[in-house]
């Protein structure tokens, strides 16, 4: 029994396995897509050189603007709207970012069957709620106020 408790549990190892593979794929995607972006292989939706430019009537460059002002200035879609711009160099980077963001949801979905099989009811319930919380955050339904 003590020997068993010294080792990581089955669900812990399963979680670690998925996290490990997903993390490397996500980071690799992030670096590759960024190289494509700054090299100009793919056209950018917001031209790179514009980011540091100060627009007329403002004291700050575009990347010094608040997020919602920046989005208005370039007509950038919020939520999952970026997927429609994925052919553009800048928004292609969001694939890697979204992959890293979605990894925890995937890990929970992987350990859920193990927890169910072990009849670990409390953790099954908590894990389901966690998936729902992360899915809600990822859904884009939630909007911050002030603009």
Partner 1 sequence: MFNSKKLSTVLIIILSLSILFLGIYAFASEGQEAAREAAKEIVPGSTTPWWVWPLVLFVVTFVLGILAVLGGVGGGVLFVPIVGGFFPFNIDFVRGAGLLVALAGALAAGPGLLKRNLASLRLAIPVALIASAAAIVGAMIGLALKPNVVNILLGATILFIVLIMAIAKKSDFPKVPHPDKLSQALEITGIYREESLGKDVEWNVHRTPQGLALFIIIGVMAGMFGLGAGWANVPVLNLLMGAPLKISVATSKFLLSITDTSAAWVYLNQGAVLPMIVVPSIVGIMLGSMVGVKILVKAKPKAIKWMVIVLLLFAGTRALLKGLEIWK
Give the binding-site size for partner 1 (rule: CB under 8 A). 77
Task: Write a three-state SS string for the chain.
Answer: CHHHHHCCCHHHHHHHHHHHHHHHHHHHHHHHHHHHHHHCCCCCCCCHHHCCCCCCCCCCCHHHCCHHHHHHHHCCCCHHHHHHHCCCHHHHHHHHHHHHHHHHHHHHHHHHHHHHHCCCHHHHHHHHHHHHHHHHHHHCCCCCCCC
Q: Which of residues 78-107 bind partner 1 (CB under 8 A)?
A: 78-80, 90, 93-94, 97-98, 100-101, 103-105
Told to check if 113 binds partner 1 by CB under 8 A, we report no
Q: According to CB under 8 A, which one of 28, 41, 48, 116 is a site residue for partner 1? A: 48
Told to check if 116 binds partner 1 by CB under 8 A, we report no
Q: Which of residues 13-32 bind partner 1 (CB under 8 A)?
A: 13, 15-17, 19-20, 22-23, 26-27, 30-31
């Amino acid at each position: 029994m003590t020997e068993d408790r010294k080792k990581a549990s089955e669900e812990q190892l399963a979680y670690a396995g998925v996290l490990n593979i997903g993390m490397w794929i996500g980071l690799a995607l992030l670096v590759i897509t960024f190289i494509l972006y700054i090299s100009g292989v793919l056209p950018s939706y917001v031209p790179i050189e514009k980011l540091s430019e100060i627009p007329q009537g403002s004291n700050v460059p575009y990347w010094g603007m608040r997020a919602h002002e920046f989005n208005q200035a370039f007509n950038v879609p919020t939520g999952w709207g970026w997927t429609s711009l994925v052919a553009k160099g800048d928004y292609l980077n969001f694939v890697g970012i979204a992959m890293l963001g979605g990894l925890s949801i995937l890990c929970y979905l992987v350990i859920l069957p193990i927890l169910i099989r072990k009849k670990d009811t409390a953790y099954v319930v908590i894990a389901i709620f966690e998936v729902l919380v992360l899915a809600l955050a990822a859904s884009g339904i939630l909007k911050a106020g002030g603009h």
